[in-house]
Amino acid sequence: MAIADISTRPAEPTAAPVSTFGGLPAVYGEGMAELMEWVDEIAALTTPDRIHWIDGSRAENDALLREMVAEGKLIKLNPEWRPGSYLARSHPSDVARTEGRTFIASEKEEDAGPTNNWAAPDAIRATITPLFAGSMKGRTMYVVPFSMGAVGGPLSHIGVQITDSAYAVASIGIMTRVGSDVLGEIAQGAPWVKTVHSVGAPLAPGQEDVAWPCNDEKYIVHFPDTLEVWSYGSGYGGNAILAKKCFALRIASVIGRDEGWLAEHMLLIRVISPEGKAYHVAAAFPSACGKTNLAMLRPTIPGWRVETLGDDIAWLRPGEDGRLWAINPEAGFFGVAPGTGESTNVAAVETLWGNTIFTNVALRPDGDVWWEGLTDTPPAQLTDWEGNPWTPASGRPAAHPNSRFTVAAAQCPQIAPDWDAPEGVPLDAILFGGRRATNVPLVVEATDWTHGVFMGSNISSERTAAAEGTVGELRRDPFAMLPFCGYNMADYFGHWLKVGQKLRFDRAPRIFQVNWFRKGDDGRFLWPGFGDNARVIDWIIRRVEGSVGAVESAVGRLPRTSDLNLEGISVPEADLDELFSINTESWMRETQLTEEFYQTFDGKVPAALWAELAALRYRLQRV
């Protein structure tokens, strides 16, 4: 059967069948009846020529990829250099998340909060429904059942995406668990999230398709009250792979609020000491703050190892044992290519040996790919991300700054053997970090859970380097969740506090803030970073163990520099002092910025966080 063969509904079975019929899954139950009714409803609206239920098989995926190559939508890379890999080139207008066209359609505007674009549900449905009407004409409508986390796992959740993009189908197949076993869960009554995606490019009879169909008009609408996502017009990244940011963060954060857990924009790693003891760390960093590098860290300290559990999203749930348990709900990495190289993240480069979909990177004459940062010296000749000839003298990037790779997590050479264990791992530490040239120390420990939530609520990066030692304009990104929280962020702060109350005080993960990016007055970074960040992790682990002390400061607990393992690197004493210096005047100005930020939430910021702000000011005044 060809990938595009139309599905037709089989007769109602009198017993559980063991085969498929016309592309429909041979899975029956009350949950399947609801799913089929929904699929029929979306098909009636979007009027596709064909319907294909994705079964997740290797043969099906291979057929899908071959079809995209034949249609000119993918370029097959040289199997000698990059086996099983492909290059996609998007339309130049469709290269990133469309945050300005992303909406939270909650019943009450206050539930979306000031950091989200709110839309009234009925009004936005009236706007987008006509756009979806007939939007899949001439195309195949794919039905993709997927699981975030191991199928049937205690921390997992299920979704179904309807899409007319084969590129999205192939990407979802890498990023999630797709297949008939997911339908089995739905048939047995497991709840599922509805996600609908169309590139918004219907085809008239005989009309030739383009390599990257999309529409200038774009919407991504989340309905948290009914657990739905509708995305129109874009074929790119998280706009099309709705299991990722849309479900795994925006919708999942709402589910987590209602069920008592947290959906977080966090990496997840296992740190193994020279003695062989394992610790689990989750970390939330905004973009361009070293998140992927930490997720695949290769320590420069002899004896220490890091195993990767996840690079982008973690779901955290209080356990009956009083600890906080975490899973990576994804099955793949959707990473930014530029800046990923052997000098910055060799593990990521090694992960991309094959079976990878690259998007908007450059193509080498030998059929391999390249992007800025992959090697120190660019090749002499390339084809850039738009398909034009490129040389180092071209004066423009060869790869788009937001070019991507999509690859299975299992290919990472340092992936943990149990990275997809259904029950997850118990957390020992949580890190928050931003890109700060001033003020924020290299590492500071929160005094307790509430203080840690206060730290997370104030994560920010400076828009410009403030080498003169003053606080520059700050780009706020609390918990690295500003674009991804599906409800009012002040309520989200409160939910973090509630989750902390469910944990045993002696088993809750310790919370730290880190900053690899502090600069001296001369503008240079004071800390070497990359693999040497393991030296900070080393101190954090020893704090968790209780084997080293700390120095109390106005902003939290700081390391004694003598307790940092600096063997093998040279960090001048003056730089170490600056890395942990607390400028009272500058920090007082920062507390004013925090107050102004909290005031944007119209009185909804929890009183406990206002109390933390007042306590910080009191401590600063006593310095």
Alpha-carbon dihedral 267, 272, 273, 279, rounded to 10 degrees: 60
Q: How many helices (DSSP H) and strands (DSSP E) are in the chain?
A: 16, 31
> Hey, CA dihedral for 62, 192, 251, 99, is it positive or negative?
positive
Q: Quote the DSSP letter at residue 531.
A: G
**DSSP letters spanning 212-261:** S---SS-EEEEETTTTEEEEES--SHHHH-TIIIIIIIIIHHHHHHHHT-
Map tokens 């919407």 to a residue.
219
Please choose, from the candidates 535, 521, 512, the residue with its C-alpha nearest in 3D space to the C-alpha of residue 583: 521
Is residue 214 part of the annotated active site? The answer reads no
The one-letter amino acid at 279: Y
Among candidate residues 246, 289, 412, 485, the one labeled active-site is 289
**Contact criterion met (CB below 8 Å) for 407 and 355:** yes
Residue 619, helix vs strand vs coil: helix
CA angle 95, 361, 250 (to 5 degrees): 40
Report how far apart, in Å, the C-alpha atoms of 412 and of each of 409, 417, 455 are: 6, 11, 32
Query: In which element (H, E) is residue 43 found?
Result: helix 30-46
Please choose, from the candidates 139, 201, 165, 195, the residue with its C-alpha nearest in 3D space to the C-alpha of residue 359: 165
Please choose, from the candidates 132, 130, 126, 107, the residue with its C-alpha nearest in 3D space to the C-alpha of residue 118: 107
**Torsion angles phi and psi, residue 130, rounded to 5:** -65, -30
**Torsion angles phi and psi, residue 18, rounded to 5:** -115, 5
Please choose, from the candidates 408, 283, 270, 292, the residue with its C-alpha nearest in 3D space to the C-alpha of residue 339: 292
Q: How far apart are CA 138 and CA 122, in angstroms?
A: 29
Q: Could you list the active site residues?
A: 289
